[in-house]
């Protein structure tokens, strides 16, 4: 079998890489080509375009780069036509991938979507696009099944791939800190615009609260100087988010996949987020959910405090951190909610389940 896989950002590359490895284990003769990064490459995918150039976020940022995005779309279509896959596998990255799905479906290429767009949160038109342009949609949250089925999408729950990644993690005990002081992890995100929006306040915290050890989980896409533009009393750890979380007593986490990872590592957290004024104003009009963090969305209630836009200040963040680190009852309540969250998600090997589901589907169709 031949598969062309498209992942447009770091988390997509991670999950696509695990999926590709599971596919190769299932069928050693499988042929894999796609757009992505190092995780996909390490799993044996021939990479035709790296994802870093595709990582546009926010309404305004996408509008500014429409010309580039159109160019990328034309290029990926050419690559797919050259490769002639048995199926196209699209991983997250909905704005780009749903347009690609429409193009592929018109050419009778079978389309499988892994990690579906969050149409339950906003832009419900994407549900109809999934129904019309995909042959199979694989979701990673249990509540998504009923939602997508209601609209006629062929959907399967395969488990959450974060369990796969955490299961593979082996802690490096040479990575340590002075245990006489509590350790706070700072997770500013993985995209340039996110980090620029989050780091100034995070860095200020390290001066305001010198009684803690602060570690910033950085990504090697950016040079150290990119982070150190923000003066602070913190340690920078590259591509070691899980080692940082394994060490942490609490965390300040930019909303995204990292909030769920932090919960699975059983680290009490405060979730923060800030974006451009225009993007936030548009999002408020379009987004129809009570929460933005995955932890609260899966739990369907407030488990972790969310400080969004104007509420994300050093003072507010400091207040919540102090509570998580000094109020044992408050801290334990969050940790107990994490246990319930883990049970909801299940503990299956999502990548293997997804690979087998794809294989079975294509054999039967």
Q: What percent of the chain has pLDDT over 90?
A: 70
- Does 2-159+348-364 carry CATH code 3.40.50.2000? yes
**pLDDT tens by residue, 251-299:** 999 998 899 999 999 999 999 998 766 565 555 555 666 788 889 988 8
Q: Computed from CA positions of residues 311, 312, 318, 323, in that sequence, does the dihedral angle turn out positive or negative?
A: positive
Around Cβ 333, how many Cβ atoms within 10 Å?
A: 13
Q: Computed from CA positions of residues 37, 145, 143, 279, in that sequence, does the dihedral angle turn out positive or negative?
A: positive
Q: Computed from CA positions of residues 354, 358, 360, 365, in that sequence, does the dihedral angle turn out positive or negative?
A: positive
Phi, psi angle pair for 212, to nearest 5°: -115, 155
Where along the chain do its domains lie? 2-159+348-364, 183-345
**pLDDT tens by residue, 70-108:** 888 999 999 999 999 999 999 999 989 999 999 999 999
Tokens 């915290």 label which residue? Answer: 205
Whether 183-345 and 2-159+348-364 are alike in CATH topology: the answer is yes
Which two three-digit tokens encode residue 153?
């999408």
Instruction: Assess whether pLDDT exceeds 50 at residue 158.
Output: yes
Which two three-digit tokens encode residue 200?
């100034």
**pLDDT tens by residue, 13-61:** 999 999 999 999 999 999 999 999 999 999 999 999 998 776 555 544 5
Q: Do strands 2-7 and 87-91 pair parallel, antiparallel, or not at all (unpaired)?
A: parallel
Burial class of residue 60 (count of CB atoms within 10 Å of its CB; 0-12, 13-18, 19+): middle
Q: How many CA atoms lie within 13 A of 178 on its CB side?
A: 7
Q: pLDDT category, 347, cuts 50, 70, 90?
A: confident
Domain boundaries 183-345, CATH class: alpha beta
Whether the Cβ atoms of residue 51 and residue 130 lie closer than 8 Å to each other: no
Instruction: Assess whether pLDDT exceeds 70 at residue 303.
Output: yes
Bridge partner list, 110: 87
Q: Computed from CA positions of residues 314, 331, 294, 349, in that sequence, does the dihedral angle turn out positive or negative?
A: positive
């Amino acid at each position: 079998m031949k598969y062309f896989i498209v992942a447009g950002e770091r988390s997509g590359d991670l999950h696509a890489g695990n999926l590709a490895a599971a596919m190769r284990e299932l069928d050693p003769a499988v042929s894999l080509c796609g757009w992505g990064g190092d995780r996909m490459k390490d799993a044996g995918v021939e990479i035709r375009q790296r994802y870093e150039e595709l990582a546009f976020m926010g309404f305004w940022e996408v509008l500014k780069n429409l010309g580039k995005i159109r160019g990328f779309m034309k290029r990926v279509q050419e690559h797919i036509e050259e490769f002639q896959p048995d199926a196209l596998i699209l991983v997250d990255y909905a704005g780009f991938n749903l347009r690609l799905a429409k193009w592929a479906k018109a050419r009778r290429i079978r389309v499988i979507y892994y990690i579906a767009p969050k149409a339950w949160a906003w832009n419900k038109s994407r549900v109809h696009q999934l129904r019309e342009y995909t042959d199979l949609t694989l979701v990673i949250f249990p509540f998504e099944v009923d939602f997508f089925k209601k609209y006629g999408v062929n959907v399967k729950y395969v488990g959450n791939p974060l369990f796969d990644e955490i299961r593979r993690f082996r802690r490096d005990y040479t990575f340590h800190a002075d245990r006489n002081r509590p350790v706070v992890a700072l997770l500013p995100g993985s995209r340039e615009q996110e980090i620029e929006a989050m780091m100034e306040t995070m860095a200020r915290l390290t001066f305001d609260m010198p009684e803690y050890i602060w570690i910033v989980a950085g990504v090697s896409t950016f040079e150290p100087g990119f982070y150190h533009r923000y003066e602070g009393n913190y340690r920078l750890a590259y591509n070691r988010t899980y080692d940082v979380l394994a060490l942490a007593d609490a965390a300040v986490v930019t909303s995204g996949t990292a909030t769920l990872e932090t919960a699975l590592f059983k680290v009490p957290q405060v979730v923060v987020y800030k974006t451009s004024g225009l993007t936030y104003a548009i999002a408020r009009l379009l987004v129809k959910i009570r929460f933005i963090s995955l932890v609260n969305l899966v739990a369907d209630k407030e488990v972790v405090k969310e400080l969004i836009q104007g509420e994300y200040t050093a003072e507010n963040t400091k207040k919540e951190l102090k509570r998580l680190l000094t109020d044992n009852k408050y801290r334990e309540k969050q940790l107990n909610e994490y246990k319930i969250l883990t049970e909801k998600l299940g503990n299956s090997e999502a990548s293997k389940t997804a690979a087998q589901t794809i294989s079975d589907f294509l054999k039967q169709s």
